[in-house]
Structure 1
Amino acid sequence: MSHAADESQDQAQQVAPWADEQTRQHLQVLVESVATLAGFEQSAITLRRSHDFLILVAAGVPDGFAGTRVPLSAMQAEMDRADDWGAWKFVHHDHVSAEVLPYSHIPDVVPLDLTDAWHPLDMLFAPLHDDDGVLRGLLSVDSPRNGRLPGPQQLEVLTQYAGVARTLVLLALEREDLTERVRIADEARQIVRRALGEPSLDLVLEACRAAVASCFDAAGMWLTAFHGDGVNTTTSYALGGGEAPPFSEIDDVVIALAHRYWDDQYVAHFSYAHSEHPGLPAAGADSLLAFLDRIGIGSVLFVPLGAGPECLGFLVLTRVSDTPAWTPLEREAALDIGRDLGRAVANARQLDRERAVADRLRKLDTYRMEMVNTLGHELRTPLFSMTANLELLDVGALGLEDRRSVAAAERGADRMRAVIEDLLTMAQVADPEREFVPDPVDLRRVLLEVAEECHHAAAAKSQDCTIVTPDEPVLVAGSADELHRMLANLAGNAIKYSPEGAVIDVRLERMDGDVRVSFIDPGIGISERDQGHLFREFFRSTNPDALARPGTGLGLAIVDRIVRRHSGHVEVSSELGRGTTVAVTLPAHDPDDVSPAGPPSS
């Protein structure tokens, strides 16, 4: 057994983390028993790792020896030159290689003057192999108490201890591997659950497939999702990439199995050695085995996916051979992941339906806007002809009844013109394809222009409009024309639905990075029931007093569309018979985001 030299203790000295501390303690008891009962001062158990040997536990040696890592090449050189002593290997001190000496400590012991004396550089160890003949570790002893090489009786005792050490080491490694698989499986489940937030099934799989394959020590995986109406999609992943196999060749077999296995919550380990499963006829098993042979797969874990009672697909994890076999733990973990991925398939199906509905609504809305736009432009031509002919009439030469008829026709033409203009405005502001490039707009100037334009309508009803605004410009980002139309509609409503002699208050103010404009009138008010429909196109109030006044039912719908295009919102506060307050809030213009259009426009 090699003792750690002072200069080698700067290497990795920490014992490898073992989740199963109890097993490591059992190994510690074993090496202490070997040292005590087999007549040696020191003993140790060394595990073979990927690139070196790790001294896991030791007895009768200085602190720090356990945890030492010895290069694979150094230990392999000693094993190659060792003498075969049955279960044990002996390296005479004359044959010890220089490569292992840097990792050794030479005890301060003088050999006996005997032919069978033990030399401080002598090595005695028992290789510990698994059932497949793979070297998994070493049991080593050093410094016999009698100072002599072990005889037949002592070797027999050592051989018994080597058998116990092999059992314990293989058990420890198996439990270590199982613990690691549990850890990875849990991590994979967590990754899958975090990935469920992705907006599509492809992105869910992209976010978790490598972790799932690694968790199950799989060469790859494929997943088939059922989308309804006989439509299925398959996505695959393989370590190292490569072209996806023609999975559809076996769909007629595996799709039926997926539905049955989801009902039974059954996971199938399928290979040549495990080809008999519920619901799988011999002919189906043969076709599956032939398919797996063609794609170079020796074993699969077939996992149904679903949500609630509905089967939504299946997941297949692949291995090149049937070794190692799929464990009950892996089957349970795979079914758990199958449930999570089933929810992902269900979410993807729902999102697909919602996207399809949204797409149909967008197309319908676009068609409606195109129809309204076309209808508005087509109506303009006959309306122009009608109004032109009315203007050519010599009204003064007509009788009283004829003059009344002409006046009625002119009022009808004016109403039709208003409807057409509102239709075209609605089509314009509701068009999602229409580009919207906001400019800095002085909302104060726009409001004062609207007030001037509405003065005659208010004066005709002896109404007084009071306007309160800041003295300096109030900038918002948007379209001056659209904002003018929005304010004009609100002002027109306040005047129309307020009584003779009413006072209408209009206020423009800044509020914490926003701009707010309010129209407060003492008019007929709006019922609570009607307030929920105010911004719906062509909505007319159920109040007979409101219905008696002309309107297209598009004014507030246009206001709402314009405000939303400008990233704002509209609030309405009203009580039937007591008046209405309509307030529009818009983001104030950011001076650091000046449009290339230049100074504020009106």
Structure 2
Amino acid sequence: MDQVAETPAATQLRLDEPTREHLYVLAEGAAALAEFSLSAISIRDGDELEVVAAYGPGVAEAILGRRLPVALLEAEIENADEWGPWRFVPHDRETAEIAGYGYVYESVLTDAPGAWHPRDFLAAPLVDESGELRGVLSVDVPLDGRRPGKVQRELLEKCAVVTRRTVLTALERMELAERVRLAATTREIVRQALGEPTLDLVVEASRSAIVQCFDAFGMWLTAFDAQGGTSTTWYAEGEPAEPAFDQVDVVVAGLAEQCWAEQRVAPFSAADTAGIPRSDADRLLAFLSGIGIGSVLLVPLGVGTQCLGFLVLTRVSDVRTWTDVELDAALDIGHDLGRAVANARQVDQLRRIDTYRTQMVNTLGHELRNPIFTASANLEMLGLADLDPADHTSLTAASRAVARLESVVDDLLTMARIADPDRAFEPVPVDLHDVLAEVGEDCGPVAASKSVAYAIHAPAGPVVVPGNRDELLRLLCNLSSNAVKYTDAGGRVDLRVVRRDDDVVVTVADTGIGISEDDQRTLFREFHRSTNPAALERPGTGLGLAIVERIVQRHSGTLDLSSTLGVGTTLTVRLPAADAAVA
């Protein structure tokens, strides 16, 4: 029985225990049916066959996990006698190349005619419906010590037919289970990665699942940016020092572009250089050797026709090949991670735009403050003069306009401040009772001047949330003043604060003019102005509720709106309570 040299367990086929046990029972049955003492089943793994089941005294310990190049087996059976589905190679025809892979069972040689020689070889190639070799059943040491005759060959043929059908069924079940496993892992990878805003976070969210999914040592992911540059994130077991990827980025990037265009992935090792030019292949092989990597799988990342980068999965040894199931799953991940990279790129571009806008608004606001202050001061001085009624009316109108400008600039600077992505948010415990007192001082008189009833309802004890006091004050003032503004005389505005489970819930309900369904869709956009003529009559900057939404987001809260045109509006804010946030 010719088998192969020892292979470490790490390179063995990924078979679950039920499948291994099933194949062992199959090997045992084959030996019994064929009337042989020993039997083995080998499964194809790329260009090699691995012994996955063996039956007979001492044979499992000797040959399980051994591997034989398919090419050597094919060369051996070219010299074989055909016994139906079996191939028999007498010991005197054994090739020198395969002799080193052989396993010889210690048995007594006999000089009797037709005696079985220890180096005789008898195996049945197991091929699928397309004629592809999927495995081999081999037997050794017939029970009667003789080469099989006509009757035993008939038994061998039945044995081969049954074994082939059962092994192929087991492999189909194994491949289906592997596809299900990879599909489930792929979904998990995509779920974890798609919501992340940066390349580093995409890799951090998915790296463990990817490496485990493909039984890899590590990985690196390189994304192409819109300016033609690249950014790379690396991960490997033990977190070794990051290699100098710039040595091979050009080579791998070119291969990634080609692979994306052809919609394929590219295994690469000394035995398979993926069709890239020899000089580039040598350069990449030298780089991989320098970091202790024997085999990689290059996965292009992209969306549509655009390649956005590449993922490289690494294995220390090049003995175990990348399976077709793994290649298909990797290409799917390339599509899904491509979307994650595209999302991260868009988020980065939006962040850049947001930063630029914040800087522009800050500059504009500060530049406007000085002339507005000057105009306001001069208008106050003019108010002290003895003016005729017409001039006094003009002065009042100008003062109102300056006040409007001051309000707009104040809102612009507040919006820029809370929207700044580079501005740190360091929450501290804030008791809303203190904030509510100030809100009442600001909004109560305004409501009274409009004959609108305004009331604040809060529990007797502390109501503490983690946050920024000034921002929470602005949040509650904006909600209250907005409700008062759009409520007519005789109406009512109620601000309520309650504790519900792990949240502090703030509601501001009014009996005002309400908001149409169309306006509700854009209510929290910056500079939103209502389409309701009754609302347009009341001055505003269109930034109040946009500021509210940003503050709620910064405080890890939620904001809900309920409104009926002509009936009233209720805005509900949920903020995590301080003790819940700590827990």
Q: TM-score range by the shorter chain?
A: 0.5 to 0.7
Deviation of residue 472 (structure 1)? 2.0
Q: Is the 8 A contact 2:504 2:576 kept in 1?
A: yes
Query: 2: distance between equivalents of 1:222 and 1:593?
Result: 36
Report the secondary structure of 2:514's partner residue. Answer: coil
Report the secondary structure of 2:137's partner residue. Answer: helix
Query: 2: distance between equivalents of 1:266 and 1:592?
Result: 47
Write the deviation string for residues 493-526 of structure 1: whole angstroms up to 9, x where unpaired. Answer: 2221111132322222111221122222211111
372-381 vs 446-455, which moves further:
446-455
Q: Is the 8 A contact 1:376 1:420 kept in 2?
A: yes
Structure 1 residues 23 and 352, CA gap change in structure 2 (3 angstroms): closer
1:531 equivalent in alignment to 2:535? no
Q: What amino acid is the match of 1:133?
A: A
Structure 1 residues 258 and 414, CA gap change in structure 2 (3 angstroms): closer
Give the alignment of 1:139-538 within 5 angstroms: 140=107, 155-157=112-114, 159=115, 161-162=116-117, 166-168=121-123, 172-173=137-138, 193=183, 196=186, 197=189, 199=193, 334-393=323-382, 395=384, 397-538=386-527
Query: 2: distance between equivalents of 1:168 and 1:546?
Result: 89
State the TM-score, normalized to the length of structure 2: 0.62
Aligned pairs, number? 467
Write the deviation string for residues 17-47 of structure 1: whole angstroms up to 9, x where unpaired. Answer: 5716455434335657xxxxxxxxxxx5498
Q: What amino acid is the match of 2:549?
A: D
Who is 2:103 aligned against? Answer: 136
Structure 1 residues 136 and 529, CA gap change in structure 2 (3 angstroms): same
Q: Is the 8 A contact 1:569 1:586 kept in 2?
A: yes
Query: 2: distance between equivalents of 1:156 and 1:388?
Result: 124
Deviation of residue 137 (structure 1)? 3.1
Identity %: 33
Give the alignment of 1:500-579 within 5 angstroms: 500-579=489-568
Give the alignment of 1:71-82 within 5 angstroms: none
Structure 1 residues 368 and 294, CA gap change in structure 2 (3 angstroms): closer
Deviation of residue 317 (structure 1)? 12
Q: Is the 8 A contact 1:440 1:478 kept in 2?
A: yes
Deviation of residue 464 (structure 1)? 2.1
Structure 1 residues 30 and 129, CA gap change in structure 2 (3 angstroms): farther
Structure 1 residues 181 and 248, CA gap change in structure 2 (3 angstroms): farther
132-141 vs 184-193, which moves further:
184-193
**Bigger Rg over Cα:** 1
Q: Is the 8 A contact 1:236 1:244 kept in 2?
A: no
Report the secondary structure of 2:471's partner residue. Answer: helix
Q: Is the 8 A contact 1:306 1:343 kept in 2?
A: no
1:19 to 20, 23, 36: 23
Report the secondary structure of 1:540's partner residue. Answer: coil
Structure 1 residues 398 and 513, CA gap change in structure 2 (3 angstroms): same
Unaligned segments of structure 1, at least 5 residues: 1-15, 33-43, 58-65, 73-125, 142-148, 215-219, 595-602
Who is 2:292 aligned against? Answer: none
Q: Is the 8 A contact 1:270 1:301 kept in 2?
A: no
Report the secondary structure of 1:505's partner residue. Answer: strand
Write the deviation string for residues 368-402 of structure 1: whole angstroms up to 9, x where unpaired. Answer: 11111111111110111111111112555211100
Query: 2: distance between equivalents of 1:303 and 1:68?
Result: 39
Deviation of residue 445 (structure 1)? 2.7
Deviation of residue 352 (structure 1)? 2.4
Unaligned segments of structure 2, at least 5 residues: 1-19, 43-52, 64-89, 126-135, 140-159, 194-198, 290-294
Query: 2: distance between equivalents of 1:535 and 1:303?
Result: 44
Who is 1:94 aligned against? Answer: none
Deviation of residue 451 (structure 1)? 1.3
Report the secondary structure of 1:397's partner residue. Answer: coil
Who is 1:75 aligned against? Answer: none
Deviation of residue 452 (structure 1)? 2.3
Q: Is the 8 A contact 1:490 1:519 kept in 2?
A: yes
Deviation of residue 243 (structure 1)? 10
Q: What RMSD over aligned residues (CA atoms) do the two structures have, in Å?
A: 5.7
Write the deviation string for residues 77-112 of structure 1: whole angstroms up to 9, x where unpaired. Answer: xxxxxxxxxxxxxxxxxxxxxxxxxxxxxxxxxxxx
